[in-house]
Amino acid sequence: MRLLVKYANRLLCQTAAPVPLRQKASAAATGSLKLATSAQTEPERANKQDSPLTDTFGRHHTYLRISLTERCNLRCDYCMPADGVPLQPKDKLLTTEEILRLARIFVEQGVRKIRLTGGEPTIRRDIVDLVAEMKALPQLEHVGITTNGLVLTRLLLPLQRAGLDSLNISLDTLQKDRFEKITRRKGWERVIAGIDLAVQLGYRPKVNCVLMRNFNEDEVCDFVEFTRDRPVDVRFIEYMPFSGNKWHTDRLISFKETVELIRQRWPEFEALPNGPNDTSKAFAVPGFKGQVGFITSMTEHFCGSCNRLRLTADGNIKVCLFGNKEFSLRDAMRSNVSEEDLVDLIGAAVRRKKRQHAAFSPRHAEPLADGKSPNDTDRRLADTSRPSTIASAALFHHHLHSHRSQLLQAARHCSSLSHVNAQGKAQMVDVGEKPTSMRLAQAEATVLVGERLTQLIAANELAKGDVLSVAQLAGIIGAKRTSELIPLCHNIPLSSVKVQAQPLANEQCVRLEASVRCTGQTGVEMEALTAVSIAALTVYDMCKAVSHDICITNIRLLRKSGGKRDYQRREQS
């Protein structure tokens, strides 16, 4: 199984290095490297609260990490077995076109920095082309990469020509024998050569080192010494234990302990200024060309300023490294949803981001409640069932389509109805002569799920993902597609679709309510009813792995207004 350490090493670290060969190297002469922060324009400040990339705590996400592959050319013993791990079929992974499409959508919504990760991203044959295509995206300011450095001496120059702005290099030891033992591969010299080549080409690479007690704590000062003559940023990452890796919290070496160890040799070791979204606490030894950073994900989390999102190789958006709740953008794209719906899905995921990660208590370093690793491979092995955002809508559409002929045949015997002409053939009602007005409809549905599922849904602990947000989005998509699902319904441009999903503990159910509005010549009650129906089916789809004892009931119109006859449901006393 892959362990969290590798993904902490590759995914958790933020890079804010200046653009190579595009800025003057004056910082190298000062003896320390100051981390740059992206400038933000006034329009961006004004609009970010309305952006789908802004969560409910006001954090605006401008940084996206994209995993290009699950594969790796190392076999680190804390990361995977010697013979590797099972990989997903190629058709389950994002294609190059899908990666670039999602990158463009994220940039259009406000992402300004993209980091390419893995697995090991440099084993992608089209890595250079991917960097070039992303650098061509308007408004994208920065493209970086996180790599193990094995092939940098061959690829770095082409990557730089393609526009690569920065790179992180994972290296947990400066000892050749120890490197070969832990990675089960040769290549330590190539990694060091890659770091030196990056410096020669004008980069200021970050060297990511996960500190582990009884493994490399004796190299802390060696890594600091590594910054004496090299303008690099060595970043010590706190080891993140969890129950799945069978390692214990005593392997954690805290930020404060590491600083004290360094100051025993360099008492003048001093803190440097940090940017508002920096994950790393910057330090340096005066006179050294490089600097040292500390990523304190365990002892001093930085969730309050987190501006990062992640896209897995199989197309799931993750809003937190520690979270196991994901949304499949791949499935949505392959179901031909509109880009507007994709943006809605992204926004729904971001809005469900918690105030801070709950994987560990900073004080006690408690493991994940379910004992699972939040990295891609462990998640895939533990749960092979992945929900499609609009699977329920597709199922509903298929069901109605298969019965359309029966519906039309029945209509022939109802020639007195407005949907049937004088010859007994189905027709749409002509609404061309009706006045245009503001039309509003509200509908509700109830999904009886039982006590256990109500608790799991409320706590957002179902393995398939966030039931409430996915149901809300599916309901919105369903409302927009009512004319495709219900024969003879008009295709109405909707002004607004709102779907609310609320678990009710006392009633052991999920209550769904939809409000649909348009300005037009016909009402939207069918759109409201379709929205709650699709949302209810989605709740069932995402909960059926736990129990099939689920009942969808009470689908009904609550009120409508704006037409010839308004309606308001009156509850029976």
The yes-or-no verdict on residue 33 having pLDDT over 80 is: no
Which CATH number characterizes residue 454's domain? 3.30.70.640
d(CA 134, CA 330): 19
Residue 235, pLDDT > 70, answer yes
The single-letter DSSP state of residue 50 is G
Query: What kind and span of H or E run contains 168?
Result: strand 166-170
For the segment 364-378, what is each residue's pLDDT rounded down to a tens digit?
A: 333 333 333 333 333
Q: Which residue stretches of 357-403 are H helix?
A: 376-382, 391-402
Q: Is the pLDDT of residue 241 over 60?
A: no
Is the pLDDT at 147 greater than 50? The verdict is yes
**186 and 301 share a domain?**
yes
pLDDT at 375: 38
Quick check: is 364 in a domain? Answer: no
**CATH number of the domain that 242 lies in?**
3.20.20.70
Specify the pLDDT at position 131: 98
Q: For position 484, what pLDDT does the model report?
A: 87
Residue 504 predicted with pLDDT over 90: yes
Model pLDDT, residue 432:
60
Return the minimum-mean-pLDDT range out of 441-445, 472-476, 506-510, 520-524.
520-524
- What is the SS3 assignment for 449? coil
For the ranges 152-166, 201-215, 366-380, which has the lowest average pLDDT? 366-380
Is the per-residue pLDDT at 382 higher than 90? no
Of the listed 278, 541, 549, 566, which one is catalytic?
541
Domain boundary among 334, 352, 370: 352
**Mean pLDDT of the 185-199 span:** 95
Q: Mean per-residue pLDDT for 239-244?
A: 55
CA dist 139 and 104 (Å) reads 10
Q: Is residue 424 part of a domain?
A: no
* The pLDDT of residue 71 is above 80: yes
Residue 41 lies in a domain: no
Out of 347-361, 373-387, 415-429, give the one with best mean pLDDT.
347-361
By CB neighbour count within 10 A (0-12 exposed, 13-18 middle, 19+ buried), where does 474 fall?
buried
SS3 annotation, 253-282: CCHHHHHHHHHHHCCCCEECCCCCCCCEEE
* Distance of alpha carbon 251 from alpha carbon 274, whole angstroms: 27
* Residue 83, pLDDT score: 67
Specify the 3-state DSSP secondary structure of 359: coil
Global pTM reads 0.63
250 is catalytic: no
Q: Is residue 291 part of a domain?
A: yes
pLDDT at 265 over 70: yes
Q: Do 182 and 291 sit in the same domain of this protein?
A: yes
Confidence of residue 301 (pLDDT cuts 50, 70, 90): low
- More confident of the two residues 553 and 299: 553
Q: Identify the residue with better confidence: 151 or 435.
A: 151
Based on the fold, state whether residues 179 and 302 are members of the same structural domain.
yes
Indicate whether 173 pLDDT > 70: yes
What range defines the domain where residue 147 resides? 63-352
304 domain-assigned? yes
Digit-coded pLDDT (tens) for 88-114: 899 999 999 999 999 999 999 999 999
Count other C-beta atoms under 10 Å from residue 6's C-beta: 24
Rounded mean pLDDT, 417-427: 54
**Does one domain contain both 233 and 87?**
yes
Lowest mean pLDDT segment, chosen from 138-152, 473-487, 537-551: 473-487
Q: Could you tell me if 312 and 452 lie in one domain?
A: no
Higher pLDDT, residue 374 or 512: 512
Instruction: Classify residue 31: in a domain, yes or no.
Output: no
State which of 318, 352, 386 marks the end of a domain. Answer: 352
Listed residues 326, 352, 378: the one ending a domain:
352
Strands (E), 68-149: 113-117, 142-147
Sign of CA dihedral 457, 340, 384, 394: positive
pLDDT digits (tens, 9 = 90+) for 303-329: 777 889 999 999 999 988 766 566 789
For all residues of the chain together, what is the average pLDDT? 79
Q: Which of 120-129, 368-377, 388-397, 563-572 has the highest mean pLDDT?
A: 120-129
Mean pLDDT of 495-518: 94
Least confident of 95-104, 143-152, 287-296, 480-489: 480-489
pLDDT at position 290 over 90: yes
> 217 and 345 share a domain?
yes
515 touches 496 (CB < 8 A): yes
Is the confidence at residue 69, as pLDDT, over 60? yes
334 & 448 share domain? no
Specify the higher pLDDT residue, 374 or 187: 187
Q: With respect to residue 5, please indicate whether it lies within any of the assigned structural domains.
A: no
Out of 73-82, 335-344, 514-523, least confident range: 73-82
pLDDT at residue number 380: 32
- Region 148-167: mean pLDDT is 96
Mean pLDDT score, 268-292: 90
Give the count of domains, the chain: 2
User: Is position 197 within any domain?
Assistant: yes
At residue 396, the pLDDT reads: 31
CB 55 within 8 A of CB 269: no
201 and 304 share one domain: yes
Q: Which of 86-100, 182-196, 233-247 has the lowest mean pLDDT?
A: 233-247
What is the longest distance spanned by two Cα atoms in the chain? 96
